[in-house]
Structure 1
């Protein structure tokens, strides 16, 4: 029962944000064109703030051992490479290719790893999860931007692509955060507090907007993409990564944090990125919603398996 509550408490708030946005639109309080403009604002203003603050706030907490860092980075990169090679052979539309690749490798690591790791392992779990967030999230975002740019359909040239990547609002926020960290620039408390609050607001606002632009009828139309993508995302990848942790004899805390990189739902940020960068925004939003709902059961399943086998 405790494991069920952990999974439910981690997932249900996200569903509440999405459903609240959906019913606000259905009630006629806002219209869809307005919410799409809001989506652009979140992508260009709020996500850079969140990227800056996550890097600035978590950089000092990087404490995992080198083996975990190395294995985690290699695992993410290999997952991206495999998806990049396989998905275009199956999916023919460029707008959908980038979205599906992003959904396969990019998890809602920031908002699931911390509460799950803290609930199960306390402060030790929170410390390792925070450290890995600072390392993995920039990799998620950099490759998401590159992949979406690649599948825009234009001729790809290295310098223009690099320029678009570096000018992306999320990368800009991360680079500014890196400058502050490297130079040791402290933020005054009166400035850090509102930045932290804007950062905390980003995901609920993005999910609210996602719900307000969601059409459940199109979810059925996209089922042939959604179902296999989520099967890989929530079952196949976590199973493969669990075998990696067992083969490399990870300790229980590291094993669990590592698994949350692959077993948690599709990142909420993937929706506004896809919608603003030439991807299929509707499909991206449906993957976020469907994976968040399904993960109530799959997260419980993985936690139950790990605890039953004595692996955490």
Structure 2
């Protein structure tokens, strides 16, 4: 692809973002006209968390060729980028003089992206089944890391009573992590999967991932943005611009390969995960602020993911979509 053909490059990036975020917008419209109800969203979310996503992550992890991964450089880059984003966000929040509860909400938003649904869907839109395989391990590793760091941040800033032992126990029975762990075991042992497995994976990727994105859109409440303050906008900028930029810098310094770097960018540039709102409310924090950040980052990421992915392709740092 010619480096100077900017319109084509932007169209290529849009081919990744529009199919993903278009479903979110559709969910917002369906909820607005009354065709999508909360009971539908709850039912799909439960099935997704307990069955569909674990199965998709299992199949993707089972198809990983660990010998061809070129080491764990891109996984390590994701971990370093996450911790670095948290540290820089903490320093910035202290410099801004945020009260400790606000600091905790802000810092959690800086590093915690929606890996398992939005990030996974973006990787599939960009690189197909290869993107899902490359994304499976970072999703597992970073999901666990996000939960540990989020609990620590909220404990320190909100005085939460949730123990780290309880968190680790919860992760040990988390369906998403269990699905990926089982897939890694299958990949390492070389056990063959049934011949119909690719059909299941394609069906989940083509039909169920969009359904989950529609439910995310249906769950968004644009009205909450009326109470959005400067902290919400600053957290959004950190989640969608600063965090991905730090991730790309770490990946480039560590020599991560173009397709792996593209996957890492798409995962790290996803909007704030809805689970962050749940954890803030559980810690008796400002749930309105946390909800505002989730909504605003989801809407703004339509633009930032497209532009960021375009820049990476132009610079030759990320592989073009397949």
TM superposition score category, shorter chain reference = 0.7 to 0.9
2:178, 2:279 → 1: CA distance?
16
Cα 1:277–1:188, aligned 2, differ >3 Å: closer, same or farther? Answer: farther
Cα 1:41–1:261, aligned 2, differ >3 Å: closer, same or farther? Answer: closer
Cα 1:64–1:302, aligned 2, differ >3 Å: closer, same or farther? Answer: same
Structure 2, unmatched stretches of 5+, are 1-6, 282-286
Match of 1:294 among 303, 307, 321: 303
Describe the superposition over 1:82-140 as per-residue Cα deviations: whole angstroms up to 9, x where unpaired.
2685588546269945851443695954343465468xxxxxxx96x666424322112
Q: TM-score, normalised by structure 1?
A: 0.74
1:14, 1:176 → 2: CA distance?
27
Cα 1:83–1:144, aligned 2, differ >3 Å: closer, same or farther? Answer: farther
Number of matched residues? 298
1:110 aligned residue: 120
Describe the superposition over 1:214-271 as per-residue Cα deviations: whole angstroms up to 9, x where unpaired.
2212134235344223322333234445544565566666665555554x3327xx33
1:143 aligned residue: 145
Match of 2:135 among 124, 128, 133: 133
**Contact kept in structure 2, 1:234 and 1:295, CA below 8 Å:** yes
Partner SS, residue 4 of structure 1? helix
Q: CA deviation at 1:190?
A: 2.6
Q: CA deviation at 1:10?
A: 0.9
Q: CA deviation at 1:17?
A: 0.6
**Contact kept in structure 2, 1:112 and 1:260, CA below 8 Å:** yes
Q: CA deviation at 1:171?
A: 1.3
Note the aligned Cα RMSD (angstroms): 4.0
Cα 1:206–1:294, aligned 2, differ >3 Å: closer, same or farther? Answer: same
**Contact kept in structure 1, 2:54 and 2:175, CA below 8 Å:** yes
**Contact kept in structure 2, 1:234 and 1:298, CA below 8 Å:** no
Q: TM-score, normalised by structure 2?
A: 0.72
Aligned runs of 1:232-251 on 2, under 5 Å? 232-244=238-250, 247=253
1:28 aligned residue: 34
